[in-house]
Amino acid sequence: MIAARVDGTGYIFQGIHVNYTNAKTIRTNITPTRTIFTIEAGPMRVELTFLTPIEVCSNCLFAFIPFLW
Query: Residue ranges per domain, the chain?
Result: 2-53
DSSP-assigned letter for residue 53:
P
Please state, as a whole number, how many other Cβ atoms lie within 10 Å of the Cβ of residue 39.
21
Tell me: the pLDDT tens digits for 13-52?
887 778 888 889 999 999 888 899 999 988 989 898 988 7
pTM: 0.63
Per-residue HEC secondary structure of 8-36 comes to CEEEEEECCCCCCEECEEEEEEECCCEEE
Asked if 13 contacts 3 with a C-beta cutoff of 8 angstroms, the reply is yes
